[in-house]
Amino acid sequence: MNEVTILTTLATVHFIALMSPGPDFALVVQNATRYGRQTGFYIALGLSLGILVHSVLSLTGISYIVHQHPTLFSLLQIAGGSYLVYLGIGALTSIWLQLRSSDPSAAHVPAQSRILNSRRQALSRGFTTNILNPKALVFFVSLMSSLVPASMSLSGKASALIILWGLSLAWFSFLAWALSTKRMQKRLLDASIYIDGLCGLLFSGIGSMILYQVFSSLFK
C-alpha cells in the first residue's frame, strides 16, 4: 500500500474505534452533561493528548516492549483498572449522596464537582483516563504494527500522528459540544442521575474486569 492508502485506512479504523462506547466516550458524556461545554472540551483535549502519547509510544516501539514485558504490562493494567474503578465508585457515590439530600437542587450539583473546577483538572482527568487504559495500549500497538510499516517515511509517520490526534480531538470536542447545547443540556440534566449511574457502572465494570483478568493470570 502507498502512504495515502495507509493513512486513509489508519484514519478509518481509528475513527470507528473512537465512536465505540468505552471509558473515553463515557467520560465525555458524563462530564459534558454535568459541567458544560468548557469542561467537556478540556476532557476531550486531555483524551486526545493521551491518544497522541499512545500513538508516539507505539510508533517508536516503546508500547510494544511494555506489552511484551509481563510485569510492566500487569502494573499498567492494575493502575488502569484501579483508576477506572475509582471513577466508577465516585460516580455511584455521587448518586447516593444526591438521593440522600433533602435539597432538590443538589441533584444537579454532584459531590465530584469540586474536583473538576478548573481547566487543568478536567484536562488531567481526560489524559489520565486514556493513558492508563491498557486496552488503549494494546489497540495502538496492534494498529501501528499492522498498518504502519517500519519503512514509512518520517513525514508519513508524522502525518499518522497528526491524523490520530486530530480525529480524536475533533470527535470528542464535537461530542462535548453536541451534549452541551442549551436544548440538549436541559434534557440531559433531568436524566443526569441515570447518566451518572450508567457511566459509574461502565467504569466500575471495565475496571473490575481488567483487575480480575490481571490477578487471575498472576495467581493461576
pLDDT of residue 63: 77
The answer for residues whose C-beta is within 8 angstroms of residue 160's C-beta and 6 or more apart is 6, 7, 10, 55, 59, 148, 152
pLDDT in tens, 104-161: 444 444 434 444 557 888 999 999 999 998 888 888 988 888 888 878 889 999 999 9
- Selected residue with higher pLDDT from 10 and 2: 10
Reported confidence tier of residue 193, pLDDT bands at 50, 70, 90: confident
- Selected residue with higher pLDDT from 107 and 54: 54
Torsion of CA 188, 191, 195, 198, to 10 degrees: -150
Instruction: Say whether pLDDT at 189 is over 70.
Output: no
- Selected residue with higher pLDDT from 14 and 30: 14
**Reduced to 3 states, what is the DSSP secondary structure of residue 41?**
helix
Amino acid at 83: Y
Structural contact between residues 160 and 59, judged by C-beta atoms closer than 8 angstroms: yes
- Selected residue with higher pLDDT from 80 and 51: 51
pTM summary value: 0.80
pLDDT in tens, 158-180: 999 999 999 999 999 999 998 88
Domain residue extents for the chain: 23-219
